[in-house]
Chain A
């Protein structure tokens, strides 16, 4: 039987356990005696007593230090794991916020003036084969506009038109705040600044991915009929348009279709109504057609 380890002998000397090997092994017996001698030697050390007066003083000093301590951190923040999680989460949130801000403030390529919007003299997308229209006579003087250089607050910005995503048009509508114009359909008729002095967005069409609604369908049907030279059907189709997004365009092209259909009286009536409803219309301003 092998001799006991020093750790085992120290344990026996401390706890008083018995081990049969110690009684038969002289070396282990001697080692155990040495352990007991060392234990007894250490226990001779005097017990440092704290005098009652010093006890009270020391306790008072400790409580004084406690009172001088800053208040403990909230328990929900005190646990190390939770504190680490909170700190890590805060750093992550800050990084995400910084990334978001960086993305939002990334300058988009500005499109000034005729932003992907067809001028009034052009036909909507895909209608280049439409025969020349006979423009009605405009009975009044076009309103005088002061051409102005684009100002930062007047510039409408549109997402790159080559992308397939719907463009977002941002337009200042007041001196203090900006509004985002999200056309419901594929045509933007126009928008003016707060003073109505000049248009901030030229009318025309903007390709959008938007749900087909009745007005859009009617406007599209009108142009199908125009290309088919079915001007009566085109007039009827344009007259079905009710959406404000198409109203001005539809009303104008309804006049043109009526004129081409030979209904001059009807066209004249519609023109009067148009000038009253859209006095600032660029169709009137240009006097084209």
Chain B
């Protein structure tokens, strides 16, 4: 199915490959297609990861790289419709794994050292740093909903699907994230 699409589209213009064709080409290890996918979606994935990891900018690049590597490995599983949303889902999973690893590592380090690690960005003056800090303090599940819907503009149904949760659950998480954000910043605007 995907191979057929690729054979048809590629001679007409590789840059014009649809999301499905691009994923199919990546699935068979086409390096040019992989490069095109990186060029096409690197900004969006980087922005999403940076917002999700607002308090830990040092890990953003690594997570972006891990997201694309994971995407290439599972490109054959892409079922559409949006490659961008699919990449966001992979990025969210990558971030969750990273957070779990970091939590375990920090616990180990804390148990071995007297001084806790200070990896997070300390709050600075101004609204944006405070906001970044507040978002980074949200639980990952709430942060995912907030970043995907409010910051990345994903539709509720799409965001729920790529997070693997019911739509109602997504809206409840989004409402909770907004409420905590207002509370953290002293009542909102």
Residues of A whose CB lies within 8 Å of any CB of B are: 6-11, 13-15, 34-35, 37-50, 55, 58-59, 61-63, 65-67, 69, 71-72, 75, 78-79
CA distance A132 to B151 in the complex (A): 112
Contacts of B185 in A (CB 8 A): 41
Instruction: Indicate whether A42 sits within 8 Å of B54 (C-beta atoms), given known contacts A63-B38, A66-B34, A75-B76.
Output: no
B76 near A78 (CB under 8 angstroms)?
A: yes
Contacts of B128 in A (CB 8 A): 44-46
Instruction: Indicate whether A48 sits within 8 Å of B50 (C-beta atoms), given known contacts A10-B172, A37-B189.
Output: yes
Q: Is the interface of A mostly helix, strand, loop or mixed?
A: helix
List the B residue with the shortest CB-CB distance to A37: B188
A58 near B188 (CB under 8 angstroms)?
A: no
**B131 CB contact (under 8 Å) in A6, A45, A79:** A45
A41 near B179 (CB under 8 angstroms)?
A: no
A58 near B34 (CB under 8 angstroms)?
A: no
Instruction: Indicate whether A11 sits within 8 Å of B171 (C-beta atoms), given known contacts A58-B42, A66-B69, A78-B76.
Output: yes
Chain B nearest CB from A45 CB (Å) reads 5
CA distance A7 to B135 in the complex (A): 20
List the B residue with the shortest CB-CB distance to A69: B69
From A9, A34, A40, A66, name the one whose CB has the most chain B CB atoms within 10 angstroms.
Answer: A66
CA distance A39 to B135 in the complex (A): 12
B38 near A10 (CB under 8 angstroms)?
A: no
CA distance A43 to B27 in the complex (A): 35
A38 near B178 (CB under 8 angstroms)?
A: yes
Interface check B87, CB cutoff 8 A: no
Contacts of A35 in B (CB 8 A): 175, 178
A55 near B43 (CB under 8 angstroms)?
A: yes
CA distance A84 to B31 in the complex (A): 28
Residues of B whose CB lies within 8 Å of any CB of A are: 27-29, 31, 34-35, 38-39, 42-43, 46-47, 50-51, 54, 60-61, 64-65, 68-69, 72-73, 76, 127-128, 131-132, 135, 146, 149-151, 156, 168, 171-172, 174-179, 181-182, 185, 188-189
B35 near A42 (CB under 8 angstroms)?
A: no
A44 near B131 (CB under 8 angstroms)?
A: yes
Contacts of B27 in A (CB 8 A): 72, 75
A38 near B188 (CB under 8 angstroms)?
A: yes
Contacts of A13 in B (CB 8 A): 178
Contacts of A10 in B (CB 8 A): 171-172, 174-175, 178
CA distance A43 to B31 in the complex (A): 36
CA distance A13 to B177 in the complex (A): 13
CA distance A65 to B60 in the complex (A): 16
Chain A nearest CB from B15 CB (Å) reads 15
CA distance A48 to B73 in the complex (A): 27
List the A residue with the shortest CB-CB distance to B178: A38
Contacts of A39 in B (CB 8 A): 150, 178
List the B residue with the shortest CB-CB distance to A15: B156
Contacts of A47 in B (CB 8 A): 47
A50 near B46 (CB under 8 angstroms)?
A: yes
A66 near B43 (CB under 8 angstroms)?
A: no
Return the 9 tightest CB-CB contacts between A and B, nearest first. A38-B178, A7-B171, A48-B50, A10-B175, A6-B175, A10-B171, A37-B188, A42-B150, A7-B172
Contacts of B64 in A (CB 8 A): 58, 62
B65 near A34 (CB under 8 angstroms)?
A: no
List the A residue with the shortest CB-CB distance to B53: A48
Contacts of B69 in A (CB 8 A): 62, 65-66, 69
B39 near A59 (CB under 8 angstroms)?
A: yes
List the A residue with the shortest CB-CB distance to B127: A44
B151 near A42 (CB under 8 angstroms)?
A: yes
Instruction: Indicate whether A41 sits within 8 Å of B131 (C-beta atoms), given known contacts A10-B171, A14-B156, A72-B73.
Output: yes
A43 near B150 (CB under 8 angstroms)?
A: yes
Contacts of A65 in B (CB 8 A): 65, 69
CA distance A50 to B65 in the complex (A): 14
Give 27 pairs: A residue, B residue, CB < 8 Å, sorted on A.
A6-B172, A7-B172, A10-B172, A10-B175, A39-B178, A40-B189, A41-B182, A41-B188, A42-B177, A42-B178, A42-B181, A44-B131, A45-B51, A46-B132, A48-B50, A48-B51, A58-B46, A58-B64, A58-B65, A62-B38, A62-B42, A62-B64, A62-B69, A69-B69, A72-B29, A72-B73, A78-B76
CA distance A132 to B69 in the complex (A): 94
